[in-house]
Chain A
Amino acid sequence: MSGKLRHYLPFLLGALLLGATLLRALCALPPFGGYRGAYGPIVLNTMEPLRHAQQAVAAVTFDYRGFDTLAEEFILFAAVAGCLLLLRRQESEAAHDPVDQAGDRGDLEPAPAMLGLGVLMFPFTLLLGIYVVLHGHLSPGGGFQGGVLLATAFYYVYLSGEYGDLLGMSRDHAVSHLEATGAAGYVLVGVLALPAGYNYLHNLLPLGDKGELLSTGMLPLLNIAVGTEVAAAFLLLIAAFLRQVLVIRREKKP
């Protein structure tokens, strides 16, 4: 016990100091709920006249701070490339036919109810995802959230036990090309402004009427690009992890 305590003593000491000083700092801030910063009001006041936008978070994410979001999209892109790199087949392993060989659930068939639910939910989730992506500049949501929803539709396929189908979908290059298209799309939408003499990511598309589907200039395009990228990225991720369970086997004991 005392050994354990000694082991944790530096941590406890540091945590105590960190917690206390952090609390002191946070208490010195403007009181909770009384925030008076300049950034938010400026965005709220200018987004309608300048961009015909009604959704401030989307306006900040894709317009005012659109460059952040470009890098953010590429964080996801880098992580997917990294995961695919790491989850490749090791030299001591071989690829088998995609059958579930995990020992602890060899005979476990997904229940018919799961299959039925998956078939039922797949189209609706897909539709919801598309809706959220397309309306990201009008209502809560957007490319990231909608993209995750789109990928969720395919996770229903996984839950229904149709692992083979899911792997088949991601095996050819279509999904990774879709991912690359989404990522490149964001870069290229920003480039559009350069020949016209504007700065990168300048919102020069027609702004439309506030509240319309086609409004706020490039926001819908960027949402679609991000949505495509995110959906394809999460599909690639689950396929990569799934391949570890289904396809890749250890050949020989090291």
Chain B
Amino acid sequence: MSLAPFPVITALFMAVFLAALEQLSSRRRILDILSLLTALAVAAVDFLLLDGSLSGTDVYWFGDWTPMGRFPAGIAFVIDPASAGLALLSALLTVAALLFSWHHFHAVRTYYHTLMLLFLASLQGFALTGDLFNMFVFFELMGVAAYALTGYKIEESGPLEGALNFAVMNSVAGFMVLLGIALLYAETGGLNLAWAGAVLSGKPPGPAVSAAFILLAIGFLTKGAVLPFHFWLPDAHSVAPTPASVLFSGIMVQLGLYAVARIYWVVFSATLDAEALRGIFLGIGVATALTGGVMACLQRHLKRLLAYSTVSHSGLMLAGIALLDPRALGGTLLYIVGHGCVKGALFIATGVLVYHHRSVDEKHLRGRCRRLRWTGVLFCLAGLALSGLPPFGTWAGKGIIEETASQLGYHFLPPLLSVCAALSAGAVLRAAGGIFFGLGHPDVITSTAPATGEEAPETDHSRGPTPRIMLVPLVLLLLASLAVGALLRVQQVAELAAARFVDRTGYHALVLEGRRTPVHQPAPPARPGMAPALAATIAALAVAAFFLAPGPLQGRTREGVKALLSGPVALLRRLHSGYIGDYVTWFVCGTGILMVLAQLCF
């Protein structure tokens, strides 16, 4: 019996089961234990699936609707190392989030646990499915659970506002996905990715096909928070409860990018002009990474800072995918895993601060957290890891992407990506320096930011030392990120996953005919270099030092820099206006331009 359906149906069933335990909602422990066990079980199944997929991709047809002739009339899960690996990551992050919320999180009846498990199920389904419409359905399930979790704290207007923006933008993105699905269905007559790809193989890209790709890509890139579709992310991630933010920033955004990559390689890669696509996506990716990095430096709301850092890293990942190269894709997969763990750790550390001080305002917290030594050390470590410090997973991923970019002739890319990573990591380190060590002075460039640092208590009691159970997921996530980078085996798996990912004909043969083609074993992995990564870390420290350190950057120099930057900074701030109407305007603008580019270039 195949284990393939279990990640989704276990999580769905347990979500319903917990919802039905409404009378028991006063007994928190039961809900905590059951949901944690569910997440662990899902993670175990995912691990087995990943392990099994290494020797050969597995296809699971729901309802035994195997292809008739060659036509797939049913829905298939396609379990290859990439999809199973991302599913495993999402399950592990859910475990971490649930551990953090263990007993200390202010849970309303059974809804928190139910929604978290529904969210987990949707992440699993979205990663594993090989069917376009099924992807859309899980996209929406993911959305609905996420909107509700974002608006969790109804006593404040911020979460409600953020959830509204999130829901509207992602619904509009959903329409784009649907329009794309409709176009693709009209062109190919099927909803299965492999079928659509097989029909399109070798055909010239007509206006309908290129429009279908761009619409699908825009839909999923909105989830992936890529410029100019990213505006909802800081609003939502900064106000969602900490455990939800861990999942949002750690895996949800990245799954959007994964979907774009999957659709491109399985369906469109033999049709569209790779060179044009590379140009478009690299441009968007770099712009996103830069914007996110700069905006992260301008924040004093810690969770908003982390959210912008997610935007920046999302751009970096898109750049990795945009190279359209198996090795870079392997690096991107590695980066997604490494970054997911680090970002989850950072959000959890911020959650610890909220637990103690009910604030996420960098200025308010400055110097107040000296006694939280362990949290401080871990926070700094996570900040360094974010910049790609060897041997964290972020180092391995980013290193591989950058080296591949150089090999492909994009020599401008490595330094640019390092700068972006350094910017947001520098912002995190600056915050850490101020909060845990009292460094710097209150008047930093960010002081013009609005004071939105107040947080309603997420937890019941906030006196005494940090509960151990909150630090456990923090340590575990950092260790996981360390393992991702340090273990050669993980890189091997990532490169195998990428090789399988781009093997378009093998995928088609397997799904449509059940025929296994021999797996091309990639060459033994070459470790990325240490020096560029260390340079990025030093750059991140320099960014932090610019904000914190006394000395040469004091006084007139700082004022000069401030005056120089004030114009672009004000413009950037004005663009991120917080109004949903503006967001939709930019969305439509970006969609129109991308559609025209696609019609002209492909």
Contact = CB atoms under 8 A, between A and B. Distances in A.
Q: In the complex, are there CB atoms of A and B closer than 8 Å?
A: yes
Interface of A: 8, 10-11, 13-18, 21-22, 24-30, 35-39, 42-43, 46, 63-68, 70-72, 74-75, 77-79, 81-86, 88, 90-92, 173, 176-177, 179-181, 183-184, 187-188, 190-191, 193-194, 197-203
Given A18-B591, A28-B208, 13 more contacts: A10-B588, A11-B588, A13-B592, A18-B595, A21-B598, A22-B595, A25-B183, A39-B191, A68-B75, A71-B134, A78-B144, A88-B154, A203-B63
B13 interface: yes
A86 B167 CA distance: 14
Interface of B: 1-2, 5, 9, 12-13, 15-17, 19-20, 22-23, 60-65, 68, 71, 73-75, 108-109, 111-112, 114-115, 118, 121-122, 125, 133-134, 137-138, 140-141, 144-145, 147-148, 151-152, 154-155, 179, 183, 185-191, 206-208, 210-212, 584-593, 595-596, 598-599
A2 to B, nearest CB: 17
Nearest to B72: A39
A83 B206 CA distance: 43
Contact of A14 (B118, B145, B585): B585
Contacts of B68: 42, 46
A183 B148 contact: no
Contacts of A194: 1
A128 B157 CA distance: 43
Contact of B585 (A10, A30, A39, A191): A10
A24 B207 contact: yes
A25 B121 contact: no
A179 B19 CA distance: 10
Main secondary structure of the interface of B (DSSP, over half): helix
Given A10-B585, A39-B189, A65-B133, A81 B211 contact: no
A211 B586 CA distance: 52
Given A35-B186, A187-B16, A79 B144 contact: yes
Most buried by A among B75, B112, B152, B584: B75
Contact of B62 (A66, A77, A173): A66
A125 to B, nearest CB: 27
A67 B75 contact: yes
A59 B190 CA distance: 16
Please provide the 6 A-B residue pairs with the shortest distance between their CB atoms, ordered closest to farther.
A82-B148, A17-B592, A37-B189, A25-B211, A14-B589, A14-B592
Contact of B144 (A17, A46, A64, A82): A82
A180 B114 CA distance: 11
Q: Is the interface of A mostly helix, strand, loop or mixed?
A: helix
A85 B148 contact: yes
A29 B187 contact: yes
B16 A43 contact: no
Contacts of B140: 75
A229 to B, nearest CB: 10
A225 to B, nearest CB: 11
B147 A82 contact: yes
B155 A198 contact: no
Contacts of A177: 20
B206 A82 contact: no
